[in-house]
Amino acid sequence: MTFGGGFLHHPDLFPGRRSGEPWGDRALALDIPGGPYLLSGLAAAQEEALRHRFGPLCGPVTGGEGIATAVFRAPAADFLEIDTRGWEYALDLDPAPLSLRVAGLRLMARLDWAPGLAAGLWTPEATGEEWAGGVCENLLRILAAYRLLAAGGVLLHSAALSDGKSAWLLLGPSGAGKTTASRLCLAAGADVLSDDLNAVLPGPPSPVVARLPFTGDLGERQGGPGSYPLQAVLRLRQGPAESLAPLSPASALAALTAAAPYVNRDPWRREPLLAALERLARAVPAWELTFSPGADLWSILRSISR
């Protein structure tokens, strides 16, 4: 299918540069790992919805340092009406050496790397959860993936658990049990940083997991203390009994690559992504963890350390 054909009536008219009619004159900065992310051209209702969703992570734009995103109006008629019942949502990405085009549910966006990373976002969504938690957060997730990679880190589709001093990352495809495992550990006293997306950044002296506001069913969206040394990466499986086995370097790298959304679909950034993941795989141990619904999973995780 042509890029954007699943979301746009006229994908051939996708904006060729970051320009258009702003929604308003409001701006704010989001203090998220890889940022700050500076959003301008917001209507008052859009700004209010972002502040409601992200709370104290929102602040004023000062000094202009950060990743700039300009927000523009787009007619609702530009977008296809989609029945989302039972639908698995995946953004349409079109990477190029110095740009990335994004099409999704009531959003068009582009990232450009010349002279530095900046984004443009076009949407008909003026306020509410569809704007803040849908359109805007989807773009922020992509921006975070690329910004973290530029810093030598990675964005990982994972569950991150902490005891307040260290963190453990749980990987696996949908249905592997990341949220189930997170609930078990939460009930046993763990802090769930996020059961959806987590940031891993290089030390010194060793990799750390940084809390992101991109959560699934669990985790704190509005931030809080959250940068912890990473003790281990675990690939999850559900089974009748508990077992823990080391992952080979190749298997660990494959699991990490599969868990690195957006960038792992970009052939122009494959080499830096693999380099970052190889460094991570060398720095922390990787295990395959099989667990049952009644497992004392939190005790198992805390027994694993570098």
Query: Would you say 16 and 96 are in contact if contact means Cβ atoms under 8 Å apart?
Result: no
Helix (H, G, I), strand (E, B) or coil at 184: helix
In the chain the domains, ranked by start, together with CATH numbers, are 11-150 (no CATH), 154-302 (3.40.50)
pLDDT in tens, 56-92: 999 999 877 899 999 999 999 999 998 888 778 899 9
Query: Would you say 209 and 193 are in contact if contact means Cβ atoms under 8 Å apart?
Result: yes
Query: Would you say 275 and 253 are in contact if contact means Cβ atoms under 8 Å apart?
Result: no
Mean pLDDT of 34-48: 96
Residue 89 structure tokens: 């949502």
Q: What is the dihedral of CA 127, 128, 132, 136, to 10 degrees?
A: -40
Strands, E assignment, the chain: 26-30, 37-42, 58-59, 67-73, 92-96, 99-104, 107-112, 118-123, 154-157, 159-162, 167-171, 191-194, 197-201, 208-210, 227-238, 243-246, 286-291
Query: Please, what's the b/e burial string for 234-244 (b: 16 or more CB within 10 A of its CB; e: otherwise)?
Result: bbbebeeeeee
pLDDT at residue 117, rounded to an integer: 93
The C-alpha atoms of residue 241 and residue 253 are separated, in whole angstroms, by 26
Q: Is a pLDDT exceeding 90 seen at residue 277?
A: yes
The C-alpha atoms of residue 88 and residue 101 are separated, in whole angstroms, by 20
Q: Is a pLDDT exceeding 80 seen at residue 248?
A: yes
Query: Would you say 135 and 69 are in contact if contact means Cβ atoms under 8 Å apart?
Result: no
The per-residue pLDDT of the chain, averaged, comes to: 91
Residue 183 structure tokens: 């609930």
pLDDT in tens, 187-244: 899 999 988 999 999 988 889 999 999 987 766 665 665 789 999 999 988 888 788 8
| Interior angle at CA 152, CA 146 and CA 158, nearest 5 | 65
